[in-house]
Structure 1
Amino acid sequence: MVLDLLVIGTAITLGPLHNSAFILLLSSQRGARKGLAFVLSWLANLVAVVVCVLLLTGGTPPARHSTPSTVADAAELAIGVGLVGYGVYRRRRSPRPHGPPRWEGRVDNASLGTAAGLAWLLQPWALVGAGAAVVVDADLSSLTDWIALIVYCLLATLSLAVMEVYALRSPAAADARLSGLRTWLAQHQERLIVTLSLVAGVYLTARGIYQLVA
């Protein structure tokens, strides 16, 4: 479970879409406050999903090949296959010019609530769902599993937290460097999406198959 959560948490934190949106928020009026609202909402969403799963399992992993265990493994396999398919689709389709999202022009006037809602909207829910399927195996009587769950939530939020702290400590330098990072993310967005989808998808597919047949 520990390795699975590390892989999923890393894939989540490296996603280009939410990182680009977050940089845009930081560069807007009251950017640091909006960024903080985004980060807290993002982390709260992850924690809420983990807590819901633990409430359903009672903090005790189901027996191997029981119905709950099989459903979780099948869900992980389905998400993995879906990510692989999505990555292949994005890789094969013809390049398309993308204009800025409609919400970009409204970021300057966005409220803190809107920034928090944007975090919920941009969260990669397929990967979050895969994380939930893995959390089914968490045993709350194990300190290692507790640490794994905490590290997973923090790792999935790491890129946002680093940028928020940087913007708070060195606003001028952060504005220039994060603007450059956003430009780089925009230029490589398609490749990053394809790579993350394929890597995470292959891993989840392989793990799902192994869990179902082992």
Structure 2
Amino acid sequence: MALALLAPALAGGAAAQQPLTPFQQETIKAIYAVLPYQREQFALVGPAGAPLALYPDGQSPERIECQQSASFKILSRASEAGAIAVNVCPEHLARLRSLAAAGPRGFDTVLDSLQKGMPPFPADKLRAGGWYHERSNLSGGAEVQYFAVLLVGHGVIGIPTVIVLTDAQAVVVQAATTQLCGEGGNPFPLCADPKGTLSAIAQRLLK
């Protein structure tokens, strides 16, 4: 399954050595407000440079460039343990609404293919690993769509993903947490409640 990519709008020069943009600084503050800096367990460095990937919705282009984009590596116990990426993308609101709706279908399709000819994975195990989809609404009416993007290669990696949508705004937050969280049971909030944690970060960036 070819994925749709959300990437920073292209800018001149090498981004790796540039100072943090105001949006990157705002994003770090939002993340640390939800997941406080802990020297040994959780710290951000970056930028990570990886685009966000979402299940396709049958539309084109597959690559969507957002003006406000930030991604950071996660450090835990002095080692790189994952990444977290954020796009605030009102300029592609309609497309992101379509991709949010496609997310649960894409998740179910990939999960069904993984389970083909096998007993179904226990629902509690899937949920403990963040492998589920769920839609909800915030008190102000914003839609929250959560799903895991399952990347299949030599193994399977689940990428927890939240898309928060209002009438005028779209915020996408995604985290690669396999190394940080392991196979479930980690009490760290990003592992124990990926939907709630990523949603809280997204809400801090809603305008």
TM-score normalised by L of structure 1: 0.24
TM-score normalised by L of structure 2: 0.25
Higher relative contact order, chain-length normalized (CA < 8 Å, sep 6+): 1
Structure (1 or 2) with the larger CA radius of gyration: 1
Higher helix share: 1
Higher strand share: 2
